[in-house]
Amino acid sequence: MDVTKVFGTNVFNDEVMRKWLPKDTYKALRQTIDNELHLPPEVADVVANAMKDWAIEKGATHYTHWFQPLTGSTAEKHDSFISPTAQGGVVMEFSGKQLVKGEPDASSFPSGGLRATFEARGYTAWDCTSPAFLKEDAAGDVTLCIPTAFCSYTSEALDKKTPLLRSMAAVSQQSLRVLRALGNKTVSKVNANIGAEQEYFLVDKKFFEQRLDLIVAGRTIFGAPAPKGQEMEDHYFGQIKDRVADFMKDLDKELWKLGIAATTKHNEVAPSQFEMAPIFTTANIAADHNQLVMETLQKIALRRDLVCLLHEKPYAGVNGSGKHTNWSLSTDEGANLLEPGSTPHANAQFLLFICALIASVDRHADILRRSAANSGNDHRLGGNEAPPAIISIFMGEELTEILETIAKGKKAKSKVSTTLKVGIDTMPHLPKDNADRNRTSPFAFTGNKFEFRMVPSSASISRPCIVLNAIVAEALDEIATRLEKAKNVNKETASIIKDTMREHGRIIFNGNNYSDEWEKEAEKRGLPNIDSTVEALKTFPEKKSVSMFQKYKILTKEEVRARYEIYLGQYSKQINIEANTALDMVRSLYIPAIVHYTSELAEVIQRLETINASAEVQRDLLLKVSTHLESAYSNTRKLGSERENALNVSDSLKRAEAFRDKVLVAITELRVDIDALENLIPRKLWPVPTYADLLFKL
Ligand code: ADP
Ligand code: MG
């Protein structure tokens, strides 16, 4: 396969625009994209027409405004290009108006109270900074997809893209102020970039289909451990099996066609766990791409009778999945602002941006933690596999030493013995990608970017990215204000570093984040340790959080409130689904199988005893099985009533707490008996595939 020929063939990218658009239309569109302006209607008409012709040439019959409602997935409503003629035929049409704006019935998307039911209209608006693309389904139908933002009749954001775009503008604006204060007159825009490493599991479809828990809840609610887990450490980076390699090949090809620069792929730590990563790109495009990656993973897996699991913890006892989100800022001139430079000036700039990160993450560790919260991640964070629930920054020893030395007002002496006085000497060489030296940190500086490792595998990267952009914008705002007022920028830089380290240096931790000592130390330092989604969501209504989003025009007070309600609701609904699934499986699968086995045992015992043979083992087995069965039965009733109680709580926060403290606990208790029974019952009587089937039979 000639990748260069395949890459981007399904994207209305710059090259295609150049080819299909009249010169002045191309210029006008380019200007709109680069400067985020409004597209004039006459131009929109020409663009729409060209887009339609291009799409039709590639087999498209329909178009859709593709958007990301607060459900966490994507939404699309397909409309055909056809328009009837007076002669009873049709022509294919697509106007600028249809391209730029859509009006889907929004009543079935979560709005968190933003949209009154009588006003069901929602609007989708083209995000022309993210290129349109073609989606092919298995039946060969091709649809032109237009990435759009989704908002209410009254312009409130009902999606993930709108605040992401707003946050990108905010961080660009504040970065520019800092750059200007440092004397830069040429940069006109700063980009937030993201590279998202996607972890996932694959499972054979025939086993998946027999597991209701995987089908509806995304994770196994029951299942005794397989005889083998990940203890042999033989899967990580191991040889990729043919079936999986074929899948990955198809996946790459599909992603390349969509212009997604999928580059790395490998086996992950847990059995049947894998990872893919594209080359990083502008945040909103990266967010769109990641949605497409998740969608394509699932689509391509099915073609090979596999199912792709994106849940954060599909299996107990082995590692779960995350989505390391690599984040950086770069100028429109291509300079990475998190890259230590080769001139004193560049280094002062670098250190100031690092300070912005230190201050912002320390100040808003709770909000950052919240941006990675979902019910799946609650099974992961804090376990000895994923980052802990405490946010800290890994800076690496060299950089920490530099910062600390400057903070103490001395000349910095680095490991490579270069001296540094801010803005004067050159920066000592910092080892790039020093991340590998500390895989336990939730937020690591990796040489020229930060890697946020808490992000859940199934979630959109928009949420963490919005928060990062927002909190960094706020810190840069403060820095810019100081620099703008300063008589001596160089001296002010040193004092900003000093103040940052004094006030926020506690957030830096280069040690082992999995250790108990760190938990104690973090508590001493006053760092928040937020161990569940519900606790994380509680920080939403806090003034600190609301006013920051408001100040930088990323979310209004009402939009923040709406998100709080939606995410709380989603949490409760997810646990409710898990409870329903558990009850269904226990009542319709496990209990009947166990009852069947007890009756078999009873018969055998009776027969043995009539011939005076020993039935000791059979009696013992029956006793054990019956004990667990009774316990499971009573725990099923308990789960049923806890679920009812939780559903009857009207306050959304209290309801979510009830689901966490009562319902989830009851599910876990029920699991204990069922998993114990799995080890007591003959395999042929066990009604569902086991962990060994799911994890080792690809
Ligand atoms: P690792 O597993 O060691 O973290 P990977 O190569 O799997 O590394 O993933 C690193 C990710 O970080 C890739 O998506 C890569 O494109 C991205 N990345 C690299 N440089 C930057 C940068 N400056 N800004 C944002 N992301 C970056
Ligand atoms: Mg990584």
Q: What is the pLDDT of residues 271-316, one digit of tens each?
A: 999 999 999 999 999 999 999 999 999 999 999 999 999 999 999 9
pLDDT of residue 422 exceeding 60: no
| Residue 359 pLDDT grade (very low, low, confident, very high; cuts 50, 70, 90) | very high
Ligand nearest to the CA of 441: 2
Q: What is the dotted CATH code of the domain comprising 3-159?
A: 3.10.20.70
Please tell me the distance from the alpha carbon of residue 98 to that of residue 437, in angstroms, as a whole number: 51
* CA 332 to ligand 2 center in whole angstroms: 25
Q: Are strands 133-136 and 122-126 parallel, antiparallel or unpaired?
A: unpaired
Tell me how far CA of residue 503 lies from CA of 120, 215, 519, 585, in angstroms: 47, 48, 20, 53
Ligand nearest to the CA of 330: 1
Ligand nearest to the CA of 449: 1
pLDDT for res 416: 41
The H or E element containing residue 443 is strand 443-445
Q: Which of 255, 281, 449 best tests ligand 1's pocket when mutated (most atoms within 8 Å of CB)?
A: 449
Distance between first and last Cα of the chain: 26
Q: What is the mean pLDDT of residues 8-17?
A: 96
Q: Which of 197, 198, 266, 445 best tests ligand 1's pocket when mutated (most atoms within 8 Å of CB)?
A: 197
Ligand nearest to the CA of 275: 1
Q: Which tokens sit at 519?
A: 């938990």
Tell me how far CA of residue 575 lies from CA of 406, 467, 581, 673, in angstroms: 49, 26, 10, 20
Ligand 1 neighbours by CB, cut-off 6 Å: 193-195, 197, 264, 277-280, 324, 326-328, 336, 435, 448-449, 451
Ligand nearest to the CA of 196: 1
Question: Length of the chain, please?
Answer: 698
* CA 316 to ligand 1 center in whole angstroms: 28
Q: Which of 321, 326, 394 best tests ligand 1's pocket when mutated (most atoms within 8 Å of CB)?
A: 326
Tell me how far CA of residue 423 lies from CA of 168, 342, 347, 355, in angstroms: 28, 11, 6, 15
Beta bridge partners of 89: none
Reduced to 3 states (helix: H, G, I; strand: E, B; else coil), residue 585 is helix
* CA 198 to ligand 1 center in whole angstroms: 11
Q: What is the mean pLDDT of residues 96-120?
A: 78
- CATH code 1.20.120.1560 region(s) in the chain: 570-696
Label each residue of 478-503 as H, E or C. Answer: HHHHHHHHCCCHHHHHHHHHHHHHHH
Q: What is the dotted CATH code of the domain comprising 570-696?
A: 1.20.120.1560
Asked if residue 356 lies in contact with residue 476, where contact means CB atoms within 8 angstroms, the answer is yes
Ligand 1 nearest-atom number relative to CA 446: 4
Q: Which residues contact 631 (CB under 8 A, 6 or more apart)?
A: 673
Please tell me the distance from the alpha carbon of residue 656 to that of residue 109, in angstroms, as a whole number: 20
Q: Could you count the other beta carbons within 10 Å of the beta carbon of residue 20? A: 18
- CATH code 3.30.590.10 region(s) in the chain: 198-322
Q: What is the mean pLDDT of residues 204-230?
A: 95
Ligand 1 nearest-atom number relative to CA 195: 14
Range list of H helices, 122-209: 161-181, 205-208
What are the phi and psi torsion angles at 409 (to 5°)?
A: 85, 15
Model pLDDT for residues 369-395, shown as the tens digit of each residue: 999 999 999 999 877 677 789 999 999
Ligand 1 nearest-atom number relative to CA 433: 3
Residue nearest to atom 13 of ligand 1 (CA): 195
* CA 462 to ligand 1 center in whole angstroms: 17
Q: Which residues contact 534 (CB under 8 A, 6 or more apart)?
A: 568, 571, 653, 656, 657, 660
Q: Which tokens sit at 330?
A: 């770069």
* CA 450 to ligand 1 center in whole angstroms: 9
Asked if residue 162 lies in contact with residue 68, where contact means CB atoms within 8 angstroms, the answer is no
pLDDT of residue 421 exceeding 80: no
Ligand 1 nearest-atom number relative to CA 328: 24
Model pLDDT for residues 628-664, shown as the tens digit of each residue: 999 999 999 999 999 999 999 999 999 999 999 999 9
* CA 138 to ligand 2 center in whole angstroms: 32
* CA 426 to ligand 1 center in whole angstroms: 26
Asked if residue 65 lies in contact with residue 104, where contact means CB atoms within 8 angstroms, the answer is yes
Ligand 1 nearest-atom number relative to CA 436: 3
* CA 537 to ligand 1 center in whole angstroms: 29
The single-letter code of the amino acid at 237 is: F
Residue nearest to atom 24 of ligand 1 (CA): 328
Q: What is the mean pLDDT of residues 236-255?
A: 91
Quick one: CATH architecture of 198-322?
2-Layer Sandwich (3.30)
- CATH code 3.10.20.70 region(s) in the chain: 3-159
When the pLDDT of each residue in the chain is averaged and rounded to a whole number, the result is 92
Model pLDDT for residues 47-88, shown as the tens digit of each residue: 999 999 999 999 999 999 999 999 888 998 889 999 999 999
Please tell me the distance from the alpha carbon of residue 196 to that of residue 184, in angstroms, as a whole number: 30
Which of 201, 169, 430 is CA-nearest to residue 306? 201
Reduced to 3 states (helix: H, G, I; strand: E, B; else coil), residue 107 is coil
Q: Which tokens sit at 449?
A: 């970017």
Residue nearest to atom 2 of ligand 1 (CA): 197
Ligand nearest to the CA of 322: 2
Ligand 1 nearest-atom number relative to CA 275: 7
Ligand nearest to the CA of 448: 1
Which of 650, 648, 600, 665 is CA-nearest to residue 626? 600
* CA 324 to ligand 2 center in whole angstroms: 5
Q: Which tokens sit at 258?
A: 């969509």
Label each residue of 606-671 as H, E or C. Answer: HHHHHCCCCCHHHHHHHHHHHHHHHHHHHHHHHHHHHHHHHHCCCCHHHHHHHHHHHHHHHHHHHH
Label each residue of 187-209 as H, E or C. Answer: CCCEEEEEEEEEEEEEEEHHHHC
pLDDT of residue 536 exceeding 80: yes
pLDDT of residue 264 exceeding 90: no
* CA 159 to ligand 2 center in whole angstroms: 27
Please tell me the distance from the alpha carbon of residue 502 to that of residue 480, in angstroms, as a whole number: 19
Ligand 1 nearest-atom number relative to CA 330: 23
Q: Which of 263, 266, 280, 357 best tests ligand 1's pocket when mutated (most atoms within 8 Å of CB)?
A: 280
Please tell me the distance from the alpha carbon of residue 672 to that of residue 685, in angstroms, as a whole number: 19
Longest CA–CA separation in the chain, Å = 103
Q: Is 214 exposed, middle or buried (0-12, 13-18, 19+ CB in 10 A)?
A: buried
What are the phi and psi torsion angles at 240 (to 5°)?
A: -85, 125
* CA 322 to ligand 2 center in whole angstroms: 10
pLDDT for res 187: 96
pLDDT for res 564: 95
- Give the Cα-Cα-Cα angle 651, 655, 661 (nearest 5 degrees): 145
pLDDT of residue 433 exceeding 90: no
* CA 107 to ligand 2 center in whole angstroms: 39
Model pLDDT for residues 14-54, shown as the tens digit of each residue: 999 999 999 999 999 999 988 877 888 899 999 999 999 99
* CA 329 to ligand 1 center in whole angstroms: 13
* CA 294 to ligand 1 center in whole angstroms: 18
* CA 371 to ligand 1 center in whole angstroms: 20
Eight-class DSSP state of 586: I
pLDDT for res 419: 41
* CA 326 to ligand 1 center in whole angstroms: 6
Ligand nearest to the CA of 264: 1
Please tell me the distance from the alpha carbon of residue 76 to that of residue 63, in angstroms, as a whole number: 9
| Residue 115 pLDDT grade (very low, low, confident, very high; cuts 50, 70, 90) | low
Alpha-carbon dihedral sign for residues 261, 264, 267, 268: negative
Residue nearest to atom 17 of ligand 1 (CA): 195
Ligand 1 nearest-atom number relative to CA 324: 4
Residue nearest to atom 14 of ligand 1 (CA): 195
Ligand nearest to the CA of 433: 1
Q: Helix 489-504 crosses helix 462-485 at what angle (to 10 degrees)?
A: 130
Q: What is the mean pLDDT of residues 308-327?
A: 96
Range list of H helices, 267-407: 283-303, 344-363, 365-370, 397-407
Q: Which tokens sit at 356?
A: 């912005």
Ligand 1 nearest-atom number relative to CA 327: 25
Asked if residue 37 lies in contact with residue 31, where contact means CB atoms within 8 angstroms, the answer is yes
Range list of H helices, 509-542: 516-525, 533-537
Number of H helices, E strands in the chain: 24, 19
Ligand 1 nearest-atom number relative to CA 280: 16
Which of 202, 222, 218, 216 is CA-nearest to residue 689? 222
Ligand 1 nearest-atom number relative to CA 339: 23
- Give the Cα-Cα-Cα angle 77, 82, 84 (nearest 5 degrees): 130
